[in-house]
Amino acid sequence: MSSEEKKSFLLLKSMIFHYHGLDEDEVQILERTAKELNADAELKWANDFIAEDYGTAFNRARNYLKDSLGQLEKSMRLSYLDQVWKDNYQKGYITEMEATAMLEVAKDLGIESELISMVRG
């Protein structure tokens, strides 16, 4: 995974976690992911991106992700969202707001029906 893909993946995960307010479990998941990917700098970049203007972060991130992840194969886009879904589930729950946010991103990336099928099955 390139540095740019790491940035995009960590931004995706971080923005979903931040959508309702970041809790300690989510911080640990983000830090573990960054460690596994050797992507501490990319996680810092993603968190700085969100902190730049928290009120507009979700829409700015959606636009960024459309450009960066939209270039990837459909299977890879779905894989990234699947990983975020599973990491959310690790906390023991997925909020309606998080699910809705992931569906909005999936729609932006042209994989909404695939994400719905994946989480149902």
Give the torsion through C-alpha atoms of 35, 37, 41, 43, to 10 deg. Answer: -80
pTM tops 0.85, yes or no: yes
Task: State the pLDDT at residue 89.
Answer: 82
What distances in angstroms separate CA 6 from CA 3, 20, 39, one per listed residue? 5, 23, 7
Q: Please list the ranges in the chain whose pLDDT falls under 70.
A: none
Domain that holds residue 106: 3-120
Q: What is the number of structural domains in the chain?
A: 1
| pLDDT attached to residue 22 | 84
pLDDT at res. 88: 85
- What's the confidence (pLDDT) of residue 120? 84
- HSE on the CB side for 100, CA within 13 Å? 6
The enclosing domain of 86 has a CATH number of: 1.10.3680
Tokens (6 digits) for 85: 């879904």
In 3D space, the residue among 16, 112, 2, 108 whose CA is nearest the CA of residue 64 turns out to be: 108
